Amino acid sequence: MKVFLNPGHAPDGKPDPGAVNNETGLRECDVALAVGKSAANYLNMAGVETELLQSDSLEEICETANSNGSDIFVSIHCNSVDTEQANGTETWACAGSSHGSMLAECIQNQIVSALGTTDRGVKIATPGVNGLYVLSNTDMPAVLVELAFISNHDDEEILANKQDDLARAVARGITDYEQAKN
């Protein structure tokens, strides 16, 4: 199995760091990259081939994933909204992709179980309605993981201090998926 990992937003946050916590300055691009690199390391140790790309170009991300023989695609993000009360983990899959939904369930379950985040569930992205570009423009089962809310105090603590635990959970979710689909 070959896994394509896409830490969300631009490298070094230029021009787009993604969401930023107004109080602590924690940036989504940094959390996503740290979790992505650690998840790749855990997957490699388990014998799973990985490729990791953080880019400001969604087209480049999808073209690279589609051309490199990846079996699954995982985009890693942090959620954020204007209200500080929103919290938890959600994982998105593309409408019509049963394997994408299965992968999303596996990753979602591991993160919620390992970190105790609020389970916001698996969400379905429908192209042309609420479709997420990377989900509808990749050729393999694909998910977008919103690890937790960078705008929520308790979730931000997890994102800042439990990146290795998040990475382990993502990697375990991927290996759970590989076992479940066989």
Of 35, 44, 62, 55, the C-alpha closest to 136 is 62
Given a cut of 90, whether residue 182 has pLDDT beyond it is: no
Where residue 84 falls among pLDDT bands split at 50, 70, 90? confident
Neighbouring-strand partners of residue 49? 2
Rounded to an integer, what distance in angstroms lies between the CA atom of residue 59 and that of residue 86?
A: 30
Q: Which domain holds residue 106?
A: 2-181
pLDDT at 20: 97
Contact between residue 156 and residue 150 where contact means Cβ atoms under 8 Å apart = yes
Instruction: Round the CA-based radius of gyration of the chain to a whole number and report it.
Output: 15
Residue range 51-56: mean pLDDT, rounded? 97
Of 121, 115, 124, the C-alpha closest to 142 is 124
Given a cut of 90, whether residue 44 has pLDDT beyond it is: yes
**Helix ranges, 15-68 (H):** 28-45, 58-67
Which residues, including other chains, have CB under 8 Å from residue 70's CB and lie 6 or more apart?
A: 2, 3, 4, 51, 140
95-108 residue pLDDT tens: 999 999 999 999 99
Contact between residue 143 and residue 93 where contact means Cβ atoms under 8 Å apart = yes
Q: Report the domain count for the chain.
A: 1
pLDDT at 127: 86
Q: What is the CATH number of the domain that holds 105?
A: 3.40.630.40
- Angle ∠(131,134,135) on CA atoms, nearest 5: 55
Amino acid at 95: A
User: Has this prediction a pTM greater than 0.95?
Assistant: yes
